[in-house]
Amino acid sequence: MTDETEVPISHLQRRRIESRVLIPFIEACREKFGDAATRTLVAETIRTLAVTDGASWAEAYGKDLDGLKKVAEEVWAGGGSLEIDVQDGDDDQFNFNVTGCKYAEFYKDLGMPELGFLVHCSRDFAMIDGFDPDLELTRTQTVMEGASHCDFRFRRKPNSN
Distance between CA atoms of residues 106 and 120, nearest Å: 11
Per-residue pLDDT tens over the stretch 25-65? 999 999 999 999 999 999 999 999 999 999 999 999 999 99
In one-letter notation, the amino acid at residue 28 is A
> For the residues 146-157, what does the mean pLDDT come to?
95
Buried-exposed string 26-55: b where 16+ CB fall within 10 A, e elsewhere: beebeeeeeeeebbeebeeebbebbbebbb
Render pLDDT for 97-108 as a digit per residue (tens, 0 to 9). 999 999 999 999
How many angstroms separate the CA atoms of 154 and 95, rounded? Answer: 6
Question: DSSP letters along 30-86, please?
Answer: HHHH-HHHHHHHHHHHHHHHHHHHHHHHHHHH-SSHHHHHHIIIIIISGGGTEEEEE
Please tell me the predicted confidence (pLDDT) of residue 5: 58
| Mean pLDDT, residues 78-92 taken together | 88
**Structural domain boundaries of the chain?**
11-156
Average pLDDT, the chain: 90
Question: CATH assignment of 11-156, given 3.30.1330.10, 3.30.200.20, 3.30.1380.20, 3.50.50.60?
Answer: 3.30.1380.20
